[in-house]
């Protein structure tokens, strides 16, 4: 059994190793001088109250309350002693020397409730694929006459400049408006409404794909018989395509297939041929214009991209749709189209 000193040395070694990733990320915020990331607490009068040597801090211009009692620091921060916390950003309040910290905390808390709804709205609008309504973390301490009004964890995949600096600047701008006397809209934090299926490559997303394969009558109601046949044909195609080694199940996901050909456009061509087959047999009729014929048929690209991957396991993007639907005027392209139609029939007749 290791001694306490050995255990401490080992812990320190792994802490330093884990910390390197976040330190490198923080250093992207500065040009050359690491002193720019110096951690300290100001006293509110131009001096420094205390140094924080284990903390890296990136500051965006500090604001002061109209009565001169409170400072508002807008920080991107990382504590090298606690790498598990990662990098976080937000607003830290500081009570200026000479004023009662408990009273100023009450004021900080009141102000937080005023600014958060507007702040969340702007952050959600700026980052359309993120929902900040559940990301604000509230303080659990009020040490050294400081008080974090809130902070937000910078996720591992998020760019420290594009997300961290942008979000922190937005936070400061909202505070500046409030401190300048602007009236901010209150209410609850605006929660963003994402698609019901926010996951990909699951049983749920596969069922969502099947659901959009349908035939609607003139009265806009789904024809159950044709729709059932269309879905059965689609699933029969998957079995045949696996047998023909065009696609293969990806065991890394609950429900996903990988194309087995190198050309990414093959997937688009194959799906156009498949849904054209369903359309020609009166099994689907939802409109989707193509460059290849005057008639229209439906290819549910968005749903397909949540179920199929390319041969390397990468997701398809909307650019593939345009590439696959380009005009087929040349003899070579017409031949390619006929070949894919033949492939579809072979898979279905397997």
The Cα–Cα gap between 338 and 342 comes to 6
Which helix (H) or strand (E) element contains residue 60? strand 55-64
Which residues share a beta bridge with 79? Answer: 55
Task: Indicate the pLDDT class of residue 12, thresholds 50, 70 and 90.
Answer: low
Which pLDDT does position 194 carry in this prediction? 61
pLDDT of 198 > 70? The answer is no
Which residues share a beta bridge with 65? Answer: none
Dihedral sign (CA 127, 128, 129, 134): positive
Give per-residue pLDDT as tens, 48-97. 888 888 899 999 999 999 999 999 999 999 998 888 889 999 999 999 99
88, 154 Cβ separation under 8 angstroms: yes
pLDDT of 8 > 50? The answer is no
User: What is the mean pLDDT of the segment spanning 141-147?
Assistant: 81
28, 76 Cβ separation under 8 angstroms: no
Task: Indicate the pLDDT class of residue 163, thresholds 50, 70 and 90.
Answer: very high
Q: Cα angle at 226 between 244 and 280, to 5 degrees?
A: 60
The Cα–Cα gap between 78 and 161 comes to 15
Residue 300: which residues within 8 A CB-CB, separation 6 or more? 209, 212, 213
Domain locations along the chain:
4-179, 203-348
pTM exceeding the 0.75 threshold for the entire prediction: no
Give per-residue pLDDT as tens, 321-339. 767 665 555 667 778 888 9
Give per-residue pLDDT as tens, 276-325. 999 999 998 865 444 444 445 678 998 999 999 999 888 888 777 767 66
257, 247 Cβ separation under 8 angstroms: yes
Alpha carbon distances (Å) from 3 to 11, 14, 63, 71, 101 = 12, 17, 49, 46, 43
333, 340 Cβ separation under 8 angstroms: no
Task: Indicate the pLDDT class of residue 191, thresholds 50, 70 and 90.
Answer: confident
Query: Locate tokens 């229209």: which residue?
Result: 296
Which pLDDT does position 295 carry in this prediction? 44
Which pLDDT does position 164 carry in this prediction? 95
What mean pLDDT is reported for the chain?
85
345, 286 Cβ separation under 8 angstroms: no
Which residues share a beta bridge with 19? Answer: none
> DSSP labels for 293-345?
-SS-----HHHHTTTEE-TTSPBP-THHHHHHTS---SHHHHHHHHHHHHHHH
- Residue of 200, 190, 209 lying closest to 131 (CA atoms): 190
Which pLDDT does position 312 carry in this prediction? 87
């Amino acid at each position: 059994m290791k001694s306490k000193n050995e255990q401490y040395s080992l812990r320190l070694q792994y802490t330093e190793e884990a910390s390197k990733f976040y330190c490198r990320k923080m250093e992207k915020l500065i040009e050359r001088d690491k002193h720019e990331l110096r951690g300290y607490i100001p006293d509110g009068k131009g001096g420094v109250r205390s140094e924080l040597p284990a903390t890296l801090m990136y500051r965006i211009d500090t604001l002061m309350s109209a009565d001169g009692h409170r400072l508002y620091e807008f920080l991107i921060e990382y504590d090298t002693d606690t790498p598990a916390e990662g990098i976080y950003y937000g607003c830290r309040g500081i009570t200026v020397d000479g004023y009662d910290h408990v009273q100023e905390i009450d004021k900080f808390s009141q102000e937080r409730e005023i600014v958060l709804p507007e702040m969340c709205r702007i952050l959600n609008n700026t980052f359309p694929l993120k929902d900040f309504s559940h990301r604000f973390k509230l303080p659990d301490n009020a040490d050294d006459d400081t008080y974090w009004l809130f902070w937000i964890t910078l996720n591992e995949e998020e760019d420290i400049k594009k997300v961290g600096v942008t979000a922190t600047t937005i936070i400061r701008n909202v505070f500046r408006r409030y401190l300048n006397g602007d009236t901010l809209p209150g209410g609850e934090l605006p929660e963003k409404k994402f698609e019901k299926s926010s996951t990909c490559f699951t049983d749920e997303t596969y069922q969502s794909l099947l659901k959009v394969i349908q035939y609607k009558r003139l009265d806009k109601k789904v024809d159950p018989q044709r729709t059932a046949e269309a879905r059965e044909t689609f699933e029969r195609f998957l079995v045949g395509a696996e047998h023909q080694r065009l696609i293969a199940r990806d065991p890394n996901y609950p429900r996903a297939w990988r194309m087995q050909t190198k050309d990414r456009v093959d997937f688009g061509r194959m799906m156009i041929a498949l849904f054209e087959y369903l359309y020609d047999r009166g099994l689907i009729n939802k409109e989707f214009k193509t460059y290849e014929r005057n008639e229209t048929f439906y290819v549910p690209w968005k749903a397909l991209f949540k179920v199929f991957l390319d041969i390397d396991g990468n997701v398809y993007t909307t650019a593939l749709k345009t590439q696959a639907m380009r005009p087929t005027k040349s003899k070579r392209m017409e031949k390619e189209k006929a070949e894919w139609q033949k492939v579809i029939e072979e898979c279905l007749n397997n």
